A and B are shown apart, each in its own frame.
Chain A
Amino acid sequence: MSNHTINRSLLAKLADINWLLPVLILLIGMIGVATIYSATDGSWNLGAKQHFVRLLVGMLLMVLIAIIDIRIWYAMAYPGFIVALILLLGVEFLGVSVNGAQRWLDLGFVRIQPSELMKLAAVLALARFYHDLPYWRVSKPIGVFGALIIVFIPVALILRQPDLGTSIMLAATGIALIFLAGINWRVILSSLILATIAIPLFFSYGLKEYQRARILTFLDPERDPTGASYHIIQSKIALGSGGMSGKGFMEGTQASLNYVPENRTDFIFTVIGEEFGLIGGLSTMALYVLIIGVCFWLAGEIKQMFSRLLIMGLAITFALYVLINLAMVMGLAPVVGVPLPLISYGGTVMMTVLAGFGIILSAHLHRETELPRGSGLLL
């Protein structure tokens, strides 16, 4: 372990950051600014300006996080998880309702969405859990149930808010990490069998009426063309009318005439698809794939379990945002309220995602730093 990589100067650290990732992020973020500008009929003040400011502030935060020593993140994994859990419980009892779902916690000075915080905290906790766990215990009951507790207690709490999208993302990220940590195929197979039994039960008893309606609508979009399936039909129309090369910047009619609801936020991809067509849509998707690919590549350069799983987990979370959102917009998944990260308008998700990238960059920047193993709960 070469010493110079551990005790670098601030400037040296900054120089060592993988700058490819921030450049790609900035690019996608700017696509977001332009699209919001167009979706709000060419207005800076209806979100575009704020999005731009948030992007810059968030990226500054990302760089700050990136240069924080990975040992601090390692040490904060469990306490952070517990704080996030407490906040989630806080939402359960003291939360503020927005649009029929209780997701926000009003702390007086700031309103936060603990489920977003949990996306980071759960990945950190799980990465540390597997880092500390001897490999041979991964498929043993302590390994399996320890991981399941870290994943599914927050999932259950978030589902109660109710926030189906975040729950799915968190569960899927957790399962992916458990898979990456090396759980053996026998456990995977038996879980799959268990899941096929559990899912129908979950559908009947675990979901709220409107969530069930959304899933049913997704399965049969013509069921209710003005109600829940209106989103899907209108967004398909917006995309479809864009054609190969689109109607041109600021020329989208579906989006600018507000046919597609929430086109600044969850359905912003329809604006891109309508105005820039298939070419614009595919290019945007390619940018996302590139970012995720870079993250995977960064993870591949690391030997340590914590950092590697951390990067993978955060990258998978990011990928799930993108995949679920696109599938939803294209009518391939139910409308679950997952934004398109870095492009959709919205501060909390932007901060979560950029903080996540900060941690990824930190993990990569400090890949040579030796992490203790199995040390105490807090440090």
Chain B
Amino acid sequence: MIKKSDDIANMISRRSALIGIAGLSTFSILAARLYYLQVTRAEDYKVLSDKNRFNFNTVLPERGQILDRFGIALATNKQDFRLVLVPERVNNIDLALERINRILPLSKPKQKRIKNDIRKQAKFIPVLIDEHIDWPIFSKLNINLPTLPGAIPIEGKGRHYPHEGVFAHVLGYVGKPSPSALQQDNDTLLRQPAFRMGKTGIEQSLDKNLRGRAGRKKVEVNAIGRTVREWDDDKIPAIAGRDVWLTLDSELQTYTASLFGEESGGAAVIDVATGELRTLLSMPTFDGNLFVLGLTNEQFKKLDTDPRRPQFNKVIGGGYPPASTFKMPVMLAALEHKIVTPKDQIFCSGKIHLGNRDFHCWKRKGHGLMNMHSALQHSCDVYFYEIIQRLGMDKVKPFAEKLGLGQTYKLGLGGQAKGVIPDPQWKLDRIGNSWRTGDSLNAAIGQGFVLSTPLQLAVMAARIANGENAVSPFIVVDDETPTLEPLDINPEHLLFVQEAMYAVCEVPGGTAYKPGGLGIPGVEMAGKTGTGQVRGISANERLTGVLKNEDLPWKLRDHSIFVGYAPYDNPRFAACVLVEHGGSGAKLAADICRKVLGRALERDGMTGTVEPNMVGDN
């Protein structure tokens, strides 16, 4: 059956029409689909489109500053110069790094780290070349920028601690949040790579105040996350952290640190009326900036192996035998319990015999006849050996505690040591055997089990000086003024102790007597020396002659301790200075404390008859 060509042509036309109709129908379906997507569901997709398009980037707030009482910054934020490189704008990474290296020297490990970063990240993400760049190098980089394609100099903010570490222990330092901090704290800030949180000190205890609140900015990003532009709507500015004001006087503390020199120890200066700390110093210090910038292995090793333990906050965390400074609570207890009257005399032969042991006075030849007043003035040990036997250590403990020993304070600083005020129960619990009279004798002169921190001793001096209130130390200027508890010690007894402490400093024969005293005419002081023994002296050594401190290795030398306050007649400041292994308390610690108290009074405007600027450092 052969069809005619016309029939064939018609057949093709028919079938062409069929295909055409099929094609048109398909186009119609597509048109309907387009209508569905673009009109029916337009709103849904518009939302999805915006979700695609916008990112909210976290904006870091500026960390609050930490200021001293005069508003001088102790912890601040410093411009930090950084250089980053955008790999996608560089043809030859090696060549680019070589060019940068000529201006900004990059160590081999650093170059390796940079190349590693470049390999790991998308090529448009800037890679950090170096941070904390010196200004001269940074400006050189800026000038040479045209020859450094892809390099971007950035000025950021980094934590900075001026004052060369004098406040390191108080302030602490900031660092990257630890994994445990991330677990406990849901703040988005902690998840920001550039965020630093307080790790120790005030930085840590007031971190929530200092860190501020994260802001956000709306940025338009493309599919691979590159920011295309910023938008002003929906922007939430970051709220800067609150500044923290401290009660410290930065100049006084810096001065105190300079008096320590290379010595190790701690010092606290406290306002007798309020408890404000004007100085809270632990020596030697360390540079908190090192922790912000990242310690090198070498630096860490040096800090960690220094026998003077720079990282240890001795002034609040170090437990030392208070030595003879502990004689004040013993005296107060003896007066309260009427063990002796102030006039009763006791003979000091240089030692007493108890059981099969001799207990020596610091003065081998003995003080002769001593009453309570002269016993404190000359710091006679035998006098206190005698009265503690009649008194018992359990009677001393409440007075030590009333004066602020054996406890921690609401300082807002971590790392406070409680210290030890021993009694029979304490020894049974901690050591496991019963109290002996010898323990009392040691405790009476602040040796043996007794431990206190320099801050506690300063508080003790402040409370003795204040006489009415049990002042508590504080360091952060807060909205609420701390309430003062009554001291609850017989004022007559206190006056008696004050007079004895006056004699220590201002009457010839006193262990800390120095003609001229504070160096401020008309201003007198009171105080007490202490020489903290860190080694036992054997009977044999006593026979052959006790070794002088200078002949001992540093670690075995006595701690030099001094507590005091001034002016005597109208107390303003109390202080404690403890120089680790500094020898006799009458020397190093007393010298430093005198100067510090003198400077504190000058700076407070209480300078007697002399104008502040005319007073020297002597």
User: Which single member of B12, B30, B49 contacts A254 (CB below 8 Å)?
Assistant: B49
Q: Are B45 and A237 in touch, CB under 8 angstroms?
A: yes
Q: With A300-B13, A303-B5, A303-B9 in contact, do A258 and B42 touch (Cβ < 8 Å)?
A: no
A242→B3 contact, CB < 8 A: no
Q: How far is the CB of B166 from chain A (nearest CB, A)?
A: 53
Interface residues of B in 42-73 (CB under 8 A from A): 42, 44-46, 48-49, 52-53
Q: B9 near A273 (CB under 8 angstroms)?
A: no
Is B181 part of the binding interface, using a Cβ–Cβ cutoff of 8 Å? Answer: no
Contacts of B20 in A (CB 8 A): 293, 296
Q: Contact string, B1-25, partner A, CB cutoff 8 A, digits 1/0?
A: 1110100110111011001100110
**Chain B contact residues, majority secondary structure:** helix
User: Cβ of B37 and Cβ of A244 under 8 Å apart?
Assistant: no
Q: Is residue B228 within 8 Å, beta carbon to beta carbon, of the partner chain?
A: yes
Shortest CB distance A104–B (Å)? 27
Residue numbers in A under 8 Å from B142 (CB-CB): none
Shortest C-beta distance, B147 to chain A (Å), equals: 26
- Contact pick for A136, options B2, B19, B26, B33, CB 8 Å: B2
Chain A interface extent, by class: 35 or more
Pick the contact of A240 from B12, B16, B45, B53 — CB < 8 Å? Answer: B45
B341 within 8 A of A: no
Chain A residues in 8 Å Cβ range of B19: 176, 179-180, 312, 316
- Complexed CA–CA distance, A238 and B13 (Å): 40
CA distance A300 to B20 in the complex (A): 12
Asked if A332 CB lies within 8 Å of chain B CBs, one says: yes
B38/A242 in contact, CB under 8 A: yes
A296 / chain B contacts, CB cutoff of 8 Å: 16, 20
Distance (whole angstroms) from the CB of A173 to the closest CB of chain B? 11
B31 in complex: contacting residue of A285, A299, A305, CB < 8 Å: A285
Q: Tell me whether B31 and A282 are in contact (CB under 8 A).
A: yes
Instruction: Tell whether, in the assembled complex, residue A240 and residue B1 are in contact, meaning their CB atoms are under 8 Å apart.
Output: no
Q: Which of B3, B44, B223 is most buried by chain A, counting CB atoms within 10 A of its CB?
A: B223
Let me know if B13 and A239 touch, CB within 8 A. Answer: no
Complex CA gap A71/B34 in Å reads 43
**Chain A contact residues: helix, strand, loop or mixed:** helix
Can you list 13 A-B pairs, Cβ within 8 angstroms, ordered by A? A180-B15, A240-B49, A241-B48, A254-B49, A256-B222, A257-B220, A259-B222, A278-B34, A278-B35, A285-B34, A300-B16, A305-B8, A327-B30
Contacts of B23 in A (CB 8 A): 292, 316, 319, 323
Q: A241-B49, A300-B13 are in contact. List 5 more A-B contacts (CB 8 A).
A: A134-B2, A136-B1, A179-B15, A180-B15, A244-B38
**Chain B contact residues (Cβ within 8 angstroms of A): what range?**
35 or more
Give the residue of A179, A182, A282 whose beta carbon is less than 8 angstroms from that of B34: A282
Measured CB to CB, the closest approach of chain A to B22, in angstroms, equals: 9
Closest CB in chain A relative to B123 CB, distance in Å: 14
Q: How distant is the Cα of A316 from the Cα of B41 in the complex, in angstroms?
A: 32
> Are B12 and A182 interface neighbours, CB within 8 A?
yes
Known contacts A240-B45, A244-B42: does B228 contact A257 (CB below 8 Å)? yes
CB <8 Å contact, A259 and B42 = no
- B44 surroundings in chain A (CB, below 8 A): 240
A378→B606 CA distance, assembly (Å): 121
**Interchain CA distance A134-B1 in the complex, whole Å:** 11
Are the C-beta atoms of B24 and A289 separated by less than 8 Å? yes
Which chain A positions have C-beta within 8 A of B148? none
Contact of A237 with B52 at beta-carbon distance under 8 Å, contacts A258-B224, A289-B24 already known: yes
Chain B residues near A243: list those with CB within 8 A.
Answer: 38-39, 42, 46
For A261, the closest partner residue in chain B by CB is B223
Residue A135 is within 8 A (CB to CB) of chain B in the complex: yes
**Is there contact, CB below 8 Å, between B49 and A332?**
no
Which A residues are in CB contact (< 8 Å) with B42? 240-244
Cβ–Cβ contact A281 & B12, under 8 A: no
Q: Compute how far the CA of A168 lies from the CA of B34 in the bound complex, rounded to whole angstroms.
A: 23
Query: What are the residues of chain B within 8 A of A237 when measuring CB–CB?
Result: 45, 48-49, 52
State the 5 A-B residue pairs at the shortest beta-carbon distance, nearest first: A240-B45, A241-B49, A257-B222, A278-B38, A243-B42
Q: Name the CB-closest residue of B to A303.
A: B9
> Contact flags (1/0) for A235-269 with B, using CB distance below 8 Å?
01111111110000000011011110100000000
Tell me whether A244 and B39 are in contact (CB under 8 A): yes
Q: Are A259 and B15 in contact (CB under 8 A)?
A: no
Q: Which of B5, B9, B33, B46 contacts A241 (CB 8 A)?
A: B46
Given the complex, which residues of A lie within 8 Å of B31, measured CB to CB?
Answer: 282, 285
A151 at the interface (CB under 8 A from B): no
